[in-house]
Chains A and B, each alone.
Chain A
């Protein structure tokens, strides 16, 4: 029989400080020796959006209603980059810190959650630019609807974390997973209405398309930020899937984490 009992002091709550310390370590290390520092959090989505804006406003016209294309795509690009870059970071989080994992005990999910939180900081910095863009393009701002924004962010984070927990654990066993996810996220970008509106997808494919939880999440960002309306039913489906994925991810991670130190 195998049994290991943890002392009460060393429960997850006790490691709250570690979570913050590790998150700030990631952030400090990321921007320490760069001249522009946190400004990169803005530059990356902005540059990507400018490229797409050039393509879709001048060469291939995309109809985005009364919302200028740049605002339309930036609103979605920032949450998308939160999703994709946090997953890429989370996938690597266990393997990169193997020297700690194999020597010191602490809840391993801290490494994964910190990787996610560090990207959330980038997300908020980048979203400030959105507000500036909205003011420039005179888009109506309804602050009351914005109160819904935290819910959307939480759903997106839950979904990303669920995937991150599964992927980081698998990556500890099979290093192929990180390459797989780089590829997967590239395809996923095009399967999500970031650079085009949902209406571009033919009617007969809509049902299949909506099964992608990111569709509901991205559309929810747009309706709250740009159309001053509450998210549609597809967001509820996304939220449900997100919670299920998070639960499965956590259970899976906890089940295999005991093996991490043995497989180096």
Chain B
């Protein structure tokens, strides 16, 4: 049997710096040195009908570039991609929707953009409308739709293409839970029918639902490839490795992964997350108590600096931010050429998912930072308590007797 997707040693580089958008930059081209960034390096896999591959990794790991390469929006710098079969890419919901056009008109428009014939759309039209649940608003311009309706219609069209190969980006984050479940079910259905599926996400739970195989991407490299069950553990291993190498680099770093601003008057080193048993870890159970610990080397005297730690989601949303200033803790005067260990004890009441830990140290008057690492390390939260979102408020569910009885 022929594989439906064959990806052989594919790499993709992008030019860094400003794209030549005006003639002026064309005239000055001699002054520009082209620098390249490898968005994806040496990715290699084959998939057969009915197989589903998950691609997971933090932001900037090259997941979306792989999807773009597979959907032929962009082309590899080296390597070879073979696709045997009709493919459909669910990269943007409602691609080509025009706000002035009605739901009905947009179904045909979106369907043809995704590669369906007009008659195919006609035969599936009722199914599409039914799945999206927009029956009443079929002849209303989509500019009057709620964002949920818009997304539902977009997914519904794409999911009814019946492709040999389906590429899905993290578009399912939209919509309510019932609709999300419907989408996952639809994907599983398609796989059973023999569709080859590639699903990209930074959410391990979502990938576990549909994919048996998984590639973990980190900084453009496939860091792990194998069964999804093993990938979870590997993912946190990779995050740990990445965190150690990250700390080793030391100097001013601005590589898109995390930005570091420092003065060299005092330097943060060896940021670690420790369990209660004092072991470093990168995967925690929701509600676990941990210590954020790092060493500060003071090269100059630091009078009463302010220490801070913060936690963000991969989208950059701040989940938690704590500074000694806000807590009204007065820090001592640190002498030049000394070192100290700084510790924050935290209770990680976080919902399952990936998070980023940042730490920094600022001058007592907040005029600037001694050292600031926005993304010192990434860690993964798991939970059996059923919480979703970003925090785990540790709900306790009860059914109480009616007080009037």
Contact = CB atoms under 8 A, between A and B. Distances in A.
Interface of A: 1-7, 9-10, 14-15, 17-18, 20-22, 25, 28-29, 32-33, 97, 99-106, 173-176, 258, 261-264
B79 A261 contact: no
Interface in B117-135: 117-118
Given A104-B71, A104-B92, A21 B81 contact: no
Interface stretch (B55-63, B105-113, B330-338, B347-355): B105-113
Interface stretch (B96-104, B196-204, B233-241): B96-104
Contact of A100 (B85, B86, B96): B96
28 contacts: A2-B75, A2-B77, A2-B79, A3-B81, A4-B72, A5-B83, A18-B113, A21-B113, A22-B109, A22-B112, A25-B105, A25-B109, A28-B100, A29-B101, A100-B95, A100-B96, A102-B73, A103-B73, A103-B91, A103-B92, A104-B91, A105-B72, A106-B113, A106-B115, A174-B22, A258-B75, A262-B74, A263-B19
A29 B89 contact: no
B26 A174 contact: yes
Contacts of A99: 92, 95
B259 interface: no
Please indicate which of the listed interface residues A15, A25, A99, A100 has the most CB atoms of chain B within 10 Å of its own CB.
A25
Which 6 pairs across A and B sit closest by C-beta, in order of nearness? A18-B112, A105-B72, A17-B118, A21-B112, A32-B100, A261-B74
B34 interface: no
Given A14-B117, A104-B113, 20 more contacts: A2-B76, A2-B77, A3-B82, A4-B75, A4-B81, A9-B115, A22-B113, A25-B98, A25-B105, A29-B101, A102-B68, A103-B71, A103-B89, A103-B92, A104-B71, A104-B96, A106-B115, A173-B20, A261-B68, A262-B14
Contact of B80 (A2, A17, A100): A2
Q: Is the interface of B mostly helix, strand, loop or mixed?
A: loop
Q: Interface size class for chain B?
A: 35 or more
A102 B113 CA distance: 13
B177 interface: no
B19 A264 contact: yes
Contacts of B91: 103-104
B147 interface: no
Given A7-B87, A100-B96, A176 B23 contact: yes
Contacts of B22: 174-176
Contact of A105 (B71, B96, B118): B71
B100 A17 contact: no
Contacts of B19: 263-264
A1 B84 CA distance: 19
A110 B378 CA distance: 44
Contacts of B109: 21-22, 25
Contacts of A261: 68, 73-74
A33 B113 contact: no
Contacts, number: 113
A9 B165 CA distance: 13
Contact of A21 (B77, B86, B118): B118
Contact of B84 (A7, A14, A100): A7
Contacts of A102: 68, 73
A104 B73 contact: yes
B95 A1 contact: no
Given A104-B113, A261-B68, A7 B20 contact: no
Nearest to A32: B100
Contacts of A176: 22-23
A57 to B, nearest CB: 41
Contacts of A29: 98, 100-101
Contacts of A173: 20-21
A2 B91 CA distance: 23
Please indicate which of the listed interface residues A22, A104, A173 has the most CB atoms of chain B within 10 Å of its own CB.
A104
Contacts of B118: 17, 20-21
A104 B114 contact: yes
B78 interface: yes
Contacts of B113: 18, 21-22, 100, 104, 106
A105 B72 CA distance: 6
Contact of A174 (B14, B20, B74, B82): B20
